[in-house]
Each structure stands twice: as structure tokens, then as C-alpha cells.
């Protein structure tokens, strides 16, 4: 019950009791209550007129890094006797220092600075505004309001720095890059021989081949290296990411996507990102550092979700990816995904799957005993079969045991071999 209502009822009750008993002294009991009520109402807040400015020490940061939030509040209205200011924060943000809630007395024209420090896991955190509740000094009348103070914080995923990775797409773009384009021209790798043309560098002349022909000379031709279109698909489906209702592989997928996008963009490629989970979130393909930032911000937004429509991968909108481009799917994989990936491959896409191993992940949370070992063995066989099916369809699969660092796994499986080994056609 509201305090002013309770007090009013008590006052009227005393007056009524005094009248019924015909006792004036009982009526006088209500006098302190009346004075209390009127005093509170007299100083009740008429309006809340606060000017608030929000400043964040950084608007983009890494996970669990401290961010200082400063609120500069000026009371542009009448004096507020008792005002409770609460900054609406995401429950995932942790306050390290200070408080997001303050109880203040704000005189007319007074300015205060409130600061606190927060940190949080990967995510996007908007700051919608301040909730303000002003009351008279006895708390009989209160006025509430929300003051919008827009602000946002991106807690970006950490980016592992990978060295160059070797991918071969069927189709490349016209700009020079690092992906072998299956076309002769200026480059590094030997591609073939052609007849000498005026303007060829003497260093390109293949003297051994030319010596075999009396009237013609031959030049070496190199394989052009260009940039390519690469679409990364992040699998955010609940059924593939969550185990035992609480443990999630999703953060590993995020880490892999961030690392892959970073290295592919730094190689000059055109990279886009599709977040495939509760809904589709498409980051349009682009180049360079701005695109890197866009992808990291999209990854900050990424969440696991379930949607009956997107429970299977078959609704990946392939029109978003240029034909014959490279598609990298980062997913723990589900048995139903095979036919979708094989179809993608059949349509001409170069498909690579980076799959954080869900079995090793789940096993790390289970007790070690015979039934668990047997179940794990069965699941491993199923997964091996799944991966084997994909590989037979020409899909490159990187099965990532998350107990090993991602950069080491990538270096071993996707790294470009040293020039010496490439010259003799070897692999690492």
C-alpha cells in the first residue's frame, strides 16, 4: 500500500473515531499525521528534468576487460530531495568498481559525476538509459521516469593471429592476392612454359627448354595469385552447440571464425559472415580492416538459438555466396548436415568445415568410467564416418580437438608449406 494512502486512511480513521466517541482529544491525535502528510506533499517533486551525458572509456574491448562508465548529471529542474538513479545494465555485465545505482540529493542546477567500472563476456551491450525515481523527503509521493542516455559497448571475441593459410578456390577475383588462381601470369609458383614474348624478363627465359629448339625460345610462366570470395558460416544452432544444458562449444566456434576472418582479410580476400542460429544475420562481404571490424561486431552479437526453421543447415541462403566461391562452415556438425554440405559442393562451391570436436568437449565434463568410454568410442566412430563422407565428397574438414590450440591445428593442417617444400611438391 502506498504510504500516503495509508497515512490518509489513518487520519480519516482517527477523525471518524473522534466523532463517534465525541472526543476532541482523539481528533488532536491526527494533527501530527496531518502535518507529516502535508509537509511531504508540499515538497513533492513536480518534474524530473535531468540532463545526462554518458561516456565510456572504450566502446569496443575484449572479454573481461574493465570499462569505465561515467555519467555526467545536471539537474536542470527544481531541487530533488531524494532521487534514486539506476543505470540499466545487462545482467551479464559485472560491476568491478563503483555502483550503477545512486541515492542523491540534487539541488537546482547541481551537477554530479557518477562513475563505475564494468566488465563482461563477449557480447553487445546497449545502455538504454537511466531509471530515475524522485521522491519527497518522507517518501510519500514519487515520480519515476527513464532518461535515455544512449551508449553501447562491444565486447569483441579475442582474435588469434594465424599465419597465412592455404586455400584453393575454383574462382578468384581480379585483384592480386595469395590464393593460386590456376591462371598463368606474374607470380611466384611455376605454372608452365610458353613461347618467349617480347618484353619478357630474361630471368624468365627457360634456357633448358629453349636449348632443345633451334628457332624458338621459351619463358617460364607463373601461377597468378589473387584474392577470392570467402563466405564464413557460423553455426549457432542450439542442438549442435549445447551439451548437458549448460556447456557450450559456441565460444570455440566464435574464436575460430574470428581467427579465420582475420587471416583471410589480412590476405586481401573478400570475406562475408553468415550467423546461422535462431535467425540469419548476414554481414555483407567486404575487404580490409573495416570489414574485420564489422565481422567482429557481428560476432559480438552472435548467440546460440533454436528455431524450427533453421534447425537444419538446408536453409543456408546460397545466393549470398558468389558461385564457385569458398565457403567455410564452422560447426560441431550434426549427422543431418552431410547432405546439405555435399549439395553445396555439388553446386560448385569449395567447402571447408572447421569442426570443434564435440565428443572430446563433452567427455571433459563426464566421469571416466567404462560406460562413458564405450559411448565415446561409438560416437567417435560415428563422427569419423561423418567426416569420411564429407571428405569423399571433396570437402576439406578440419577436425579440431579443442584441447589443442587452434592456431597450432590450423598451422599443421592449413598452413602454407615453406617454399623449399613447395618447390619439390611436398607438404608439411
Question: Chain centroid to CA 17: how far?
Answer: 67
Residue 50 in contact with another protein, rule: CB under 8 A: no
- The residue among 36 and 124 lying less far from another protein, judged by its C-beta, is 36
Nearer to another protein, 26 or 183 (CB): 26
CA 403 to chain centre: 22
Runs of H (alpha helix) within 53-134: none
Candidates 2, 23, 88, 170; binder of another protein (CB under 8 A) is 23
Q: How far is the CB of 56 from another protein (least distance, A)?
A: 19
CB atoms within 10 A of CB 52: 17
CB closer to another protein, 7 vs 402: 7
Q: Is 150 exposed, middle or buried (0-12, 13-18, 19+ CB in 10 A)?
A: exposed
Q: Which residues pair with 144 in a beta bridge?
A: 133
Considering beta carbons, is residue 19 or 423 the nearer one to another protein? 19
Closer to another protein by CB, 85 or 387: give it: 85
Can you tell me which of 2, 28, 144, 192 binds another protein, judged by CB under 8 A? 28
Residue 42 or 309 having the CB closest to another protein: 42
Question: Which one of 26, 280, 342, 376 is in contact with another protein (CB under 8 A)?
Answer: 26
Site map for another protein, 70-109, x if CB under 8 A?
A: -----------xx-x-------------xx-xxxxx----
Q: Is 46 in the site for another protein (CB under 8 A)?
A: yes
- String marking each residue 128-167 x if it binds another protein according to CB under 8 A: ---------xxx-x--------------------------
Report, in Å, the least distance between residue 145 CB and another protein: 15
Taking CB under 8 A as the criterion, the residue among 11, 298, 328, 414 binding another protein is 11
Three-class SS state of 413: helix
Which one among 2, 19, 58, 335 touches another protein, defined by CB under 8 A?
19
Q: DSSP letter at 319?
A: G
For the chain, the residue count is 428
Question: Which residues have CB under 8 Å from 322's CB, separation 6+?
Answer: 171, 229
If the CB atoms of residues 13 and 148 are measured against another protein, the closer one turns out to be: 13
- What's the rounded Cα separation, in Å, for the pair 287 and 324? 19
> Which of 42, 174, 198, 420 contacts another protein by CB under 8 A?
42
Residue 225 contacts residue 178 (beta carbons within 8 Å): yes
DSSP state of 64: T
Q: Does 52 bind another protein (CB under 8 A)?
A: no
**Residue 111 CA to its chain's centroid (Å):** 37
Q: Residue 330: name the closest of 359, 301, 351 by CA.
A: 351
What residues numbered 278-317 form the site for another protein, per CB under 8 A?
Answer: none
CA angle 269, 275, 277 (to 5 degrees): 160
* Alpha-carbon distances of 320 from 48, 65, 274, 384, rounded to whole Å: 50, 35, 9, 30
Nearest to another protein of 105, 301 (CB atom): 105
Q: What is the contact surface with another protein in residues (CB under 8 A)?
A: 1, 3-4, 6, 8, 10-15, 17-19, 21-29, 31-39, 41-42, 44, 46, 81-82, 84, 98-99, 101-105, 137-139, 141
Amino acid at each position: 500500500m502506498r504510504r500516503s494512502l495509508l497515512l490518509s486512511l489513518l487520519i480519516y480513521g482517527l477523525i471518524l473515531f473522534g466523532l463517534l466517541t465525541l472526543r476532541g482529544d482523539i481528533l488532536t491525535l491526527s494533527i501530527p499525521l496531518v502535518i507529516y502528510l502535508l509537509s511531504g506533499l508540499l515538497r513533492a517533486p513536480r518534474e524530473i528534468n535531468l540532463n545526462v551525458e554518458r561516456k565510456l572509456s572504450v566502446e569496443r574491448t575484449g572479454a573481461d576487460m574493465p570499462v569505465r562508465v561515467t555519467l555526467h548529471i545536471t539537474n536542470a529542474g527544481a531541487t530533488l530531495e531524494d532521487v534514486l538513479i539506476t543505470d540499466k545494465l545487462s545482467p551479464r555485465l559485472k560491476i568491478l568498481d563503483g555502483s550503477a545505482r545512486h541515492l542523491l540529493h540534487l539541488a537546482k542546477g547541481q551537477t554530479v559525476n557518477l562513475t563505475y567500472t564494468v566488465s563482461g563476456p563477449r557480447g553487445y551491450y546497449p545502455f538504454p538509459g537511466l531509471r530515475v525515481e524522485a521522491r519527497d523527503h518522507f517518501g510519500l509521493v514519487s515520480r519515476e521516469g527513464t532518461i535515455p542516455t544512449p551508449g553501447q559497448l562491444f565486447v569483441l571475441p579475442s582474435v588469434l593471429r594465424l599465419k597465412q593459410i592455404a586455400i584453393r578456390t575454383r574462382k578468384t577475383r581480379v585483384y592480386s592476392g595469395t590464393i593460386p588462381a590456376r591462371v598463368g601470369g606474374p607470380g611466384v609458383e611455376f605454372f608452365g612454359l610458353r613461347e618467349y614474348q617480347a618484353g619478357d624478363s630474361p630471368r624468365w627465359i627457360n634456357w633448358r627448354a629453349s636449348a632443345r629448339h633451334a628457332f624458338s625460345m621459351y619463358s617460364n610462366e607463373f601461377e597468378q595469385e589473387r584474392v577470392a570470395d570467402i563466405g564464413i558460416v557460423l553455426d549457432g544452432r542450439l542442438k549442435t552447440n549445447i551439451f548437458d544444458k549448460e556447456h557450450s562449444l559456441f565460444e570455440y566456434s566464435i574464436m575460430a571464425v574470428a581467427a579465420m576472418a582475420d587471416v583471410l582479410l589480412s590476405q586481401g580476400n573478400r570475406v562475408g559472415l553468415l550467423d546461422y542460429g535462431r535467425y540469419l544475420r548476414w554481414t555483407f562481404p567486404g575487404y580490409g580492416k573495416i570489414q574485420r571490424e564489422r565481422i567482429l561486431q557481428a560476432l559480438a552479437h552472435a548467440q546460440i538459438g533454436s528455431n524450427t526453421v533453421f534447425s537444419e543447415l538446408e536453409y543456408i541462403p546460397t545466393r549470398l555466396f558468389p558461385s564457385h566461391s569458398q565457403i567455410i562452415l564452422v560447426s560441431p556438425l550434426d549427422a543431418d548436415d552431410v547432405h546439405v554440405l555435399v549439395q553445396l559442393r555439388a553446386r560448385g562451391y569449395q567447402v571447408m568445415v572447421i569442426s570443434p570436436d564435440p565428443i572430446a568437449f563433452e567427455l571433459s565434463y563426464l566421469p571416466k568410467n567404462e560406460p562413458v568410454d564405450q559411448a565415446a568410442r561409438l560416437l567417435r566412430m560415428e563422427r569419423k564416418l561423418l567426416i569420411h563422407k564429407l571428405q569423399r565428397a571433396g570437402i576439406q574438414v578440419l577436425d579440431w580437438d579443442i584441447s589443442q590450440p587452434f592456431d597450432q591445428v590450423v598451422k599443421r593442417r592449413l598452413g602454407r608449406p615453406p617454399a623449399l617444400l613447395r618447390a619439390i611438391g611436398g607438404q608439411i
